[in-house]
Amino acid sequence: MKRILKTILSSTGIVLCIPVLQGQGLTATGIIKKADDKFNGEKSGYSVMSMTIIRPAWKRSVEFKSWTLGRDYALTLITAPAREAGQTFLKIGTEMWTWNPAINRLIKLPPSMMSQGWMGSDYTNDDILRESSVVNDYTHEIAGEESIGGRLCYKIKMTAKEEAAIVWGYQIRWIDKNEFLVLRAELYDEDGALVRTETGSEIKTMDGRTIPSKIELVPAEEPENRTVVEIIEIRFNVPVEESFFSQQNMKRVR
């Protein structure tokens, strides 16, 4: 998810910041890439997730399946609740669509909608459809080391490149030094204001990889609100072709 779940901060220059970790030969960009590949798969991925949207007066859950192929292809299917089951979201390159079987209508999503909440949650359409790339659309800098939940982490500052059309101005991510797990992320707007905080927890081994199986998102301006994503199943580098990601398949995928 996006990113599941997502993305991070630094200076405004176009030159890539790549300090090297002594003894490991890893740059800040290399750390971000290893963490991103580990969670999303180096080539492709498939996941089944449950998302709970929590508000002071109510809460509701949405279940969905997602398929991805590289950065250019993503397809998400809503499986529950029943009134929304069958709705799909498709990304091919920079173009995105949604299919709603209840009204039998295919709608193309304009770029302006990428920052809007997905399915009424605190996640954005950009998070779920992975429009932006944490590797290619940011410059990266190691800002130090800190412990999160007893795990020593790299603190990485990610700043959006000037030419990148993305939602966030910058992010800060805390990535476990041993397992390359994103345990915390702070996402900021272009004015430097904190928009939301994400935390990863309930570390599990799934499809042979150690990952956080629970991600909690809290908006900065409404801390009583939160969105919690739990990974039910995840598989990495699954066999999936570009032809799977089509408008026709949006209507028949299950």
Whether 5 is covered by a domain: the verdict is no
Residue 120 CB neighbour total at 10 angstroms: 12
Evaluate whether 43 touches 68 at the Cβ level (below 8 Å).
no
Whether 23 is covered by a domain: the verdict is no
Instruction: Identify the CATH number of the domain in which residue 34 sits.
Output: 2.50.20.10
Count: domains in the chain: 1
| Distance, C-alpha 20 to centroid of its chain | 26
What local confidence, expressed as pLDDT, does residue 5 receive? 37
What local confidence, expressed as pLDDT, does residue 8 receive? 26
What local confidence, expressed as pLDDT, does residue 129 receive? 64
Cα within 13 Å of Cα(192), Cβ side: 3
Average pLDDT score over residue span 44-66: 96
Domain that holds residue 218: 28-250
Buried b (16+ CB within 10 A) or exposed e, 232-244: eebbbebebeeee
Whether 18 is covered by a domain: the verdict is no
Whether 14 is covered by a domain: the verdict is no
Amino acid at 131: E
Whether 63 is covered by a domain: the verdict is yes
Whether 44 is covered by a domain: the verdict is yes
pTM: 0.83
Whether 143 is covered by a domain: the verdict is yes
Handedness of CA 49, 53, 54, 59 (dihedral sign): negative
